[in-house]
């Protein structure tokens, strides 16, 4: 396929670009580099710009016909979305509408959208399938659910075909250790654990919330390796070639690990004792999120290759050890 990846210089986008290129697809990247890193997509065709600029994104879509567009251009910090919801609705919803307008104008009708398990809110059952009630509890999650509803309407009215992939917690790094997770600021647990270790303890690790209704008081998440996300996106693109309309799938491994579980696993991988300080819960964080990904497995033929937290952490650790900021002890 000829694929345009919007937000392709970011963490997930760059891993998908690498996996897609290695499996014979032709990739073009659009990114404004506000949070992305151009070195993560070295050698790939690249247009620097913002999907909020209608003339820019229309020019990209006019220059080449793409079989598929993938969309990763979103702000994704839950706490920030609570303190500054306007920027989240403007960027995540408003600029998506701009991209959809450009796609409609240029005859591009297939989209894979980066959605989130956050749309479900606080779970009403042990594992979450796609039929779970949608009750987003923060502006970030609401912005993702809004876009999904927009895509449902676009499928009916304009014949635009879309797959929405609802991630649980993306984690890990490509086993090559060439690319990995580097946000600024970094809010994800595993990279913050490993950054603390790699800094020789200079960067303090913070745990947010030890009073959740969970066995050890810390929140529980389903961690999915970024390369497993990549394979799901490519399968979703293939699925759209023969299946019109709007579709949504959960992506997770079906097992939950608490924050303290992850810290213990990281200690085993790194061989270091990991000190941390406890803080209050972050606003908008549900206590437990664990996926039921049966639908993606049955419909897309997707199977996660990384199904234990230690292996996921190991790939991230190898990438961190490759970085200049690593301080061997």
| pLDDT at residue 328 in the model | 46
Alpha carbons 85 and 312: distance in angstroms, whole number = 32
| pLDDT at residue 143 in the model | 98
Say if residues 33 and 54 touch (Cβ distance below 8 Å).
no
204 with 108, same domain: the answer is no
Phi, psi of 126 (to 5 degrees): -60, -45
Number of separate domains in the chain: 2
Indicate whether 102 belongs to any domain: yes
134 with 203, same domain: the answer is no
Q: What angle do CA 31, 34, 38 make, to 5 degrees?
A: 55
More confident position, 182 or 220 = 220
158 with 108, same domain: the answer is yes
| pLDDT band per the 50, 70, 90 thresholds, residue 321 | confident
| pLDDT at residue 326 in the model | 52
Please, what sign has the CA dihedral across residues 35, 165, 213, 220?
negative
25 with 63, same domain: the answer is yes
Which secondary-structure segment (H or E) carries 31? strand 26-31
Q: Is the pLDDT of residue 71 over 90?
A: yes
pTM of the model: 0.93
151 with 9, same domain: the answer is yes
**Is-catalytic flag, 239?**
no
30 with 96, same domain: the answer is yes
* Annotated active-site residue in 11, 66, 88, 140: 140
């Amino acid at each position: 396929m000829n694929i345009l990846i919007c937000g392709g210089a970011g963490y997930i986008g760059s891993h998908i670009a690498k996996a897609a290129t290695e499996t014979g697809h032709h990739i073009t990247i659009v990114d404004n580099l506000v949070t992305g890193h151009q070195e993560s997509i070295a050698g790939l065709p690249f247009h620097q710009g913002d999907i909020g600029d209608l003339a820019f994104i229309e020019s990209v879509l006019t220059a080449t016909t793409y079989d598929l567009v993938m969309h990763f251009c979103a702000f994704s910090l839950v706490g920030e979305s609570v303190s500054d919801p306007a920027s989240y609705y403007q960027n995540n919803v408003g600029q998506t509408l701009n991209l959809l307008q450009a796609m409609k104008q240029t005859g591009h009708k297939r989209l894979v959208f980066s959605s989130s398990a956050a749309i479900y809110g606080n779970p009403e059952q042990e594992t979450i399938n796609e039929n779970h009630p949608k009750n987003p509890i923060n502006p970030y999650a609401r912005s993702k659910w809004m876009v999904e509803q927009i895509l449902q309407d676009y499928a009916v009215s304009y014949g635009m075909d879309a797959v929405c992939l609802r991630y649980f917690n993306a984690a890990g790094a490509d086993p090559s250790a060439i690319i990995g997770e580097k946000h600024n600021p970094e809010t994800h647990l595993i990279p913050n654990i490993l950054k603390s270790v790699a800094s020789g303890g200079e960067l303090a690790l913070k745990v947010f919330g030890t009073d959740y209704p969970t066995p050890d008081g810390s929140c529980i998440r389903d961690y999915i390796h970024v390369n497993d996300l990549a394979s799901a996106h490519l399968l979703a693109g293939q699925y759209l070639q023969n299946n019109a309309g709007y579709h949504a799938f959960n992506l997770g491994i079906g097992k939950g690990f608490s924050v303290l579980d992850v810290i213990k696993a990281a200690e085993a991988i790194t061989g270091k004792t990991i000190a941390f300080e406890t803080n209050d819960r972050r606003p908008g964080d549900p206590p437990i999120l664990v996926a039921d990904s049966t639908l993606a497995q049955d419909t897309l033929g997707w199977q996660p290759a990384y199904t234990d937290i230690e292996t996921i952490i190991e790939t991230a650790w190898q990438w961190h050890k490759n970085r200049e900021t690593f301080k061997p002890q």
